Amino acid sequence: MKVKVEDKLFLDRFRVDEEAHIRIIDNDICIKNCLDQPCLYFCPANVYKLEKDRITVAYEGCLECGSCRIGCPRLNIEWRFPTGGYGIAHKFG
Amino acid sequence: MREEFEVAVVGAGPAGISAALALAEKGIKVIVFERGEFPGAKNVSGGVLYGHDLGESVPDFIRRECPVERNIVESRVWYLSVDGGFNVSFRDRAFEEGLSFNAFTVGRARFDRWFAGIAEEKGALVVCGTTVTDLLRDDGGRVTGVRTDRSDGDVTARVVLIADGINSALAAKTGFRPEPKPNDVALAVKEVIELPEEVINERFNVEAGHGVTIEILGEITKGMDGVAVIYTNKNSLSLCIGANLFDLMSNTVRPYEMLEEFKAHPMVAPLIKSGRPREYMAHWLAEGGYDTIPHLYGDGYLIAGESGMLFNALHREGSNMAMASGRLAALTIAGALARGDTGSEGLAGYAAALQASYVMKDLKKYRRFNRFLLNHKELFSTLPRLGASAAREMLTVDGISKKEKQTSIRRRIQGAIPLARLARLLWAGARSIG
């Protein structure tokens, strides 16, 4: 089933920090040494997208579950909490 | 911040707040740091809370206008195939009367803010919009306070309580808890779907103020070890679906696609028909159980709630364990402060108190449960499929005798799963919850 995650993220309230709280440590590793690239699938906000020669990080829509930090097979993702008060703010929770 | 505090708590969730509340009641100076804009801004749970543990902290929580969505009077369990499924449910008048508020639904954005407000009334200081980035330690490695992301943001305290939840980047950074392995957590997504209150009452066959929980297993998680739930709120439904993170990684399944397929299931779609999605969230569940619990105290610190992996995966109990552990941590801290020993030895009573409580007793009882689910994927594929096809066949009136039907069902089962494997599965299942 094809689903546009943007429609879901549109429901949420984000206060976006100018500074990214997620960083791919070495994009070469993603392209050359990671066959499965599971981050492209399991991330519930589809933060990670494969462009021609790299994986991009749309940290603005991150739901802050932490899955990429431990689920990256190469542990190639640096993930910290957004600055206090930034990131997603639940309305219902 | 130059002010001195006896206790610093990281995280204004159920664990941190119940601890802060208990400490403040004893007149102990406590500060709570919350990275969200307000307590609850970052928090997610399926949405069921239990009155017992909340009552230990706030005995008159109903009178104090705890933001209850619905009092749960009926619990259903579904076992689903792709096209249908089985439903077992239990309702009891006791849950409407004497046992009312045994279990009830909440929205965490409102509940946590309310709960933190009670702690503030008692004298706890809750500081929001502030992320704790590290722990301060002296030369001997003893925790002496927290470092926050505010300028001039070091705060010293005699004891630090780490209660920042399952996704505790702090516990990982300080090494006080190893990062969970992907197969120790489930990644769940949640959608809140708005519907008029009366429509929910009718669809779930309940009176106003009463609610239903549905816990769901089966093919909905596409052969992965996972679970879904539907919980009734006052004028919305909480739909959650999740699977073991390792399984999600290996199966290239997108969680939100799994959610949409779940919403389209023939037993789910009529319940949410014409509802309006209002919010979408994601969160981990600590499924690893007893064997993934880290050492929960040391020199100058303790860990409570899901930071400590305290979660009962079988019964979907987390926030109550968070409250219980937070309260026990507070009792231990109060004793340690009174004795003047906030080192590892002074705080050791916490582990003993947890072991003696239902928290560790339950987690120990179900310590094999996670592995059982992970190792028996037919629970999420072959078995619901066989069960549904057998039920469909027995219920179809088509001129074929019941005996012939039974023979063909038995053959089909034997062809799909060897009987020895089925027997071993039942044995392992019984043992994992025994």
Counted domains in chain A: 1
Confirm whether A45 is domain-assigned.
yes
Q: Per CB distance under 8 Å, which residues of A are interface residues toward B?
A: 1-3, 5, 8-9, 11-12, 15, 36, 38, 41-42, 44-46, 63-67, 69-71, 73, 79-85, 87-93
Q: Which of B286, B319, B338 is the last residue of a domain?
A: B286
How many alpha carbons fall within 13 Å on the CB side of residue B389? 13
Residue A93 lies in a domain: no
- Over its C-alpha atoms, chain B yields an Rg (Å, rounded) of 23
- B131–A contact, CB cutoff 8 A: yes
> Does the pLDDT of residue B61 top 90, yes or no?
yes
Q: Which among A63, A80, A82 has the least Cβ separation from residue B281?
A: A63
Of B148, B249, B264, the CB nearest to A38: B249
B134 and B249 within one domain: no
- Residue B375 is part of which domain span? 370-433
CB B21 within 8 A of CB B119: yes
Q: Quick one: B21 and B43 in the same domain?
A: yes
Average pLDDT over residues B369-392: 95
Look over chain A and give the mean of its residue pLDDT values, rounded to a whole number.
96
Choose one of B229, B252, B286: the last residue of a domain.
B286
Question: Angle B374-B380-B382 (CA atoms, 0-180°, nearest 5)?
Answer: 115
Chain A residues within an 8 Å CB radius of B133: 80-81
pLDDT band at A80 (very low <50, low <70, confident <90, very high): very high
Among the three residues B356, B379, B395, which one is the final residue of a domain in this structure?
B356
User: Are residues B272 and B387 located together in one domain of the fold?
Assistant: no
- Report the alpha-carbon distance of residue B341 to residue B127 in Å, rounded: 27
Are B306 and B280 within one domain?
Answer: no
Q: Is the pLDDT of residue A5 over 90?
A: yes
CA-angle at B138, arms to B133 and B143, nearest 5°: 55
- Residue B51 shares a structural domain with residue B150: yes
Structure tokens at A40: 């492209």
Give residue-wise pLDDT tens across range B27-49.
999 999 999 999 999 999 999 99
Where in B219-365 does DSSP place strands (E)?
A: 226-232, 236-244, 276-286, 297-298, 301-303
Q: What is the DSSP letter of B32?
A: E
**Within a domain: B295:** yes
Roughly what angle, to the nearest 10 degrees, separates helices B14-25 and B319-339?
40
* pLDDT at site B98: 82
Q: Are residues B128 and B57 in the same domain?
A: yes
Look at residues B148, B177, B41, B294 and name the one whose alpha carbon lies nearest to residue A70.
B177
pLDDT in tens, B67-80: 999 999 999 999 99
- The CATH number given to whatever domain includes residue B9 is 3.50.50.60
Of the candidates B179, B180, B282, the beta carbon closest to that of A45 is on B282
Higher pLDDT, B151 or B262: B262
Identify the band that residue B173 occupies on the pLDDT scale cut at 50, 70 and 90: confident
Q: Is B131 left (phi over 0), alpha (psi -120 to 50) or beta?
A: beta
Say if residue B232 is in the same domain as residue B267: yes
Question: CB neighbours of B418 closer than 8 A, spacing ≥ 6?
Answer: none
Rg over CA atoms, chain A:
13
**DSSP SS3 for B19:** helix
- Asked if pLDDT for residue B351 goes beyond 80, the answer is yes
As a whole number of angstroms, the distance between CA B296 and CA B304 comes to 7
Domain count, chain B: 3
Question: What end-to-end distance do the CA atoms of chain B give, in Å?
Answer: 51
3 state SS of B143: strand
The predicted-structure confidence for B97-149, as pLDDT tens digits, reads as follows 888 899 999 999 999 999 999 999 999 999 999 999 999 999 999 999 999 99
Instruction: Report H helices in A15-81.
Output: 27-33, 39-42, 67-71
> Could you tell me how far CA B74 lies from the centroid of its own chain?
19
Both B256 and B127 in one domain: the answer is: no
Interface test with B, best of A2, A47, A70 (most B CBs within 10 A): A70
Most distant CA pair in chain B, distance:
85
Q: How far apart are CA B223 and CA B217, in angstroms?
A: 10
C-beta separation of B38 from B91 below 8 A: no
What pLDDT is stored for residue B1 in this prediction?
52
pLDDT of residue B217: 97
Note whether B316 and B169 are same-domain residues.
yes
- pLDDT averaged over every residue in chain B: 96
Examine the domain organization and report whether B162 and B132 are in the same domain: yes
- Segment B151-177 shows an average pLDDT of 93
| pLDDT at position B2 | 59
Q: What is the pLDDT of residue A62?
A: 98
State which residues form the domain around A24: 5-82
Residue among A15, A82, A84, A88 at smallest CA distance from B43 = A88
B10-14: average pLDDT: 98
H or E element: which one contains B275?
A: none
Q: Are B162 and B302 in contact (CB under 8 A)?
A: yes
**Side chain identity at A65, as an amino acid letter?**
C
Query: What is d(CA B1, CA B219) in angstroms, rounded to the nearest whole number?
Result: 53
What integer pLDDT is reported at residue B234 of this predicted model?
98
CA of A90, closest CA in chain B: separation in Å? 5
Contact flag A12-B280 (C-beta cutoff 8 Å)? yes
In single-letter form, the type of residue at position B235 comes to: N
Establish, for the pair of chains A and B, how many residue pairs have beta carbons separated by less than 8 Å: 152
CATH of the domain at A76: 3.30.70.20
